[in-house]
Amino acid sequence: MIEADGLTKVFPGEAKGTTVTAVDNLALSVEEGEVFGFLGPNGAGKTTTVRMLCALIGPTAGRAAINGYTVGQNDQAIRASVGILTESPGMYDRLSAERNLLIFARLYGVPDPAGQARKYLQLFGLWERRGDPAGSFSKGMRQKLAIARAMLHEPRVLFLDEPTSGLDPEAARLVRDAIEQLKGEGRTIFLCTHNLDEADRLCDRIAIFKTRLVTVDTPAALRRRLFGRQVVFHLGRVDGALAETVRALPFVQEVKALDTKLVVRLDEPDTQNPAIVRALVAAGADVQFVGELRRSLEDVYLQLIQTAP
């Protein structure tokens, strides 16, 4: 659905004769129906990447294609098949939410403006407030309205550039709910964010990006790759002998005893946990509860970004 290879953008720098490489040799491939997180700090080149992928600015080098259309060759078709939520979308504040959508729907030549406006106002829970001026909306509602606007022409791919930045947690949740709705409809979504929790919650895969692509993987695999998976066995009591019992199992990578818990690092908890439970029970332990210790994605991200060249 989205393909890029060797995609590069070099801007002229502030001082004469200098240049700034915003995006360096980016290769990626996003599948249809995927929610793809594009995660990187400020200035990483996320917005520049989106602009190139949507054929709004030309790449310095490399190629990109959306929905089978090549950037630089079928730009018109690309713009028709993508929706974009930019960093600061403008609305007509004095006009109602519905009127805003109708105006943009007509501007884009959408066949059934009223039907499309209704569809997205309803989908995002704004239908009751459709007659209120956009200027009276909370930040979260405004952002949902902006996403609705980007969806009016039923694009196959939606680019969201930091949709929750600057929003308070409640407003951000409203916007995330809207993204979940679209995800449920099977849309392909390219989500730029520097919010790790958000990427973790919404995305099927996450690219970590800072001028160059650092890595791409599922949120769970990113954690696992760096930390392995850690399982916590809550026991009535823990002694050195119990820790040894677990450590002696051939597939166990590491065991730590903490109060009444054993924290065990494993490759495949799903198949290995039962053997550990059996060994613990045979050694006289009361197994009260078994759970996975989830490392935050933030740990993964910081580690990757810091070690990136």
Ligand X SMILES: Nc1ncnc2c1ncn2[C@@H]1O[C@H](COP(=O)(O)OP(=O)(O)O)[C@@H](O)[C@H]1O
For binding to ligand X (CB under 6 A), which residues are involved? 11, 20, 22, 40, 42-48
The CA distance from 229 to 276, in Å, is 15
The CA distance from 95 to 99, in Å, is 6
Q: Which does 59 bind (CB under 5 to 8 A by kind): Mg ion, ligand X, none?
A: none
Query: Beta partners for 5?
Result: 63
Q: Closer CB to ligand X, residue 22 or residue 30?
A: 22
Contact 54, 82 (CB under 8 A): yes
In the complex, minimum distance from the CB of residue 179 to ligand X, in angstroms, rounded to a whole number: 18
Contact 76, 69 (CB under 8 A): no
Q: Which does 48 bind (CB under 5 to 8 A by kind): Mg ion, ligand X, none?
A: ligand X
Q: Closer CB to ligand X, residue 46 or residue 183?
A: 46
Q: Which does 223 bind (CB under 5 to 8 A by kind): ligand X, Mg ion, none?
A: none
> How big is the site for Mg ion, counted in residues (CB under 5 A)?
2
Q: How would you classify residue 188: left for phi > 0, otherwise alpha for psi between -120 and 50, otherwise beta?
A: beta
Length of the chain counted residue by residue? 309
- Residue number of the CB atom closest to Mg ion: 47
Q: Closer CB to Mg ion, residue 47 or residue 74?
A: 47
Q: Which does 96 bind (CB under 5 to 8 A by kind): ligand X, Mg ion, none?
A: none
Q: Which does 40 bind (CB under 5 to 8 A by kind): ligand X, Mg ion, none?
A: ligand X
CA 1 to chain centre: 16
Structure tokens given for 76: 């018109």
Q: Closer CB to Mg ion, residue 50 or residue 78?
A: 50
Q: Which of 47, 70, 181, 272 binds Mg ion (CB under 5 A)?
A: 47
The CA distance from 167 to 145, in Å, is 14
In the complex, minimum distance from the CB of residue 145 to ligand X, in angstroms, rounded to a whole number: 22
Contact 159, 84 (CB under 8 A): yes
Alpha carbons within 13 A on the beta-carbon side of 161? 20
In the complex, minimum distance from the CB of residue 87 to ligand X, in angstroms, rounded to a whole number: 8
Contact call for residue 181 and Mg ion (CB under 5 A): no
Q: Which does 155 bind (CB under 5 to 8 A by kind): Mg ion, ligand X, none?
A: none
CA 190 to chain centre: 7
In the complex, minimum distance from the CB of residue 45 to Mg ion, in angstroms, rounded to a whole number: 8
In the complex, minimum distance from the CB of residue 194 to ligand X, in angstroms, rounded to a whole number: 8
Q: Which does 11 bind (CB under 5 to 8 A by kind): Mg ion, ligand X, none?
A: ligand X
In the complex, minimum distance from the CB of residue 30 to ligand X, in angstroms, rounded to a whole number: 17
In the complex, minimum distance from the CB of residue 245 to ligand X, in angstroms, rounded to a whole number: 50
In the chain, beta strands by DSSP E: 2-12, 19-30, 35-39, 61-66, 69-70, 82-85, 157-161, 188-193, 205-210, 212-217, 229-235, 254-258, 261-266, 287-293
- Residues contributing to the site for Mg ion (CB under 5 A): 46-47
